[in-house]
Structure 1
């Protein structure tokens, strides 16, 4: 949704993706002087080769987790940063 990026420390993934692979995503949303902490179990989308883990946040607390060798700004990244999220080929 065009938000700011953040860093994730110390996450690891298997070399081979398997169906049903899940991760717990926890995020903090500033709301005035307080913070709202949310969390959600999210399925990791299929990947063919290991790379960096990217977590994308969308309206209504929709969260998608992808693994890609392409950075988020690349047109080859699995999720576009604008419009309807869709998989694209490099």
Structure 2
């Protein structure tokens, strides 16, 4: 009889312990979420690489974006006032510039170096507008090296999206 009672007590205790752990786990949500990073290039330059708070990569051709996502940045589960992002990128102002190739179709190193000497590197800190549900980190590259970032779960084509930029923006002569 004692063995049966001990066994029932152990099963009952294990059941209660499991329930407590389950409830505790459900309540302990992380304050931060991983978020894919995607870029939108509204300019005639190429974005060779980008990062948001150190996460990102990829390259975005002129007047392109949204198709590829890189994993992962981090955003707060709930928006907080003063939320900012550090955006870094490398820009090729002449993405269609000619670069000599050798007989095997490989870029000529010296000509490539000449072309790459015109690349520029940038870094800005931008505000992230209020969001209700955290989602993808969307980075918009605008003329004159301006950048906007959103971290919501709203698609770019949705009227509620905080930015409404045409994919092909006019670039001023002087910034």
TM-score range, shorter chain: 0.7 to 0.9
Alignment counterpart, residue 4 of structure 1, candidates 40, 64, 69: 64
Aligned to 1:67: 151
Are residues 1:29 and 2:91 paired? yes
CA drift at 1:59: 1.6
CA drift at 1:44: 1.0
CA drift at 1:77: 2.6
Unaligned runs of 5+ in 1: 84-90
**Worse-superposed segment, 2-11 or 53-62:** 2-11
The runs of at least 4 aligned residues of structure 1 exceeding 3 Å deviation read 73-76
How many equivalent pairs are there? 83
Q: Could you say what secondary structure the match of 2:144 adopts? A: helix
Work out the CA distance in 2 between the residues paired with 1:37 and 1:8: 20
Work out the CA distance in 2 between the residues paired with 1:51 and 1:81: 20
Alignment CA distance shift 1:4-1:31 (3 Å): same
TM-score of the two chains, using structure 1 as the length reference: 0.74
Alignment CA distance shift 1:38-1:44 (3 Å): same
Q: Could you say what secondary structure the match of 2:166 adopts? A: coil
Aligned to 1:16: 78
**Worse-superposed segment, 60-69 or 18-27:** 60-69
CA drift at 1:38: 0.7
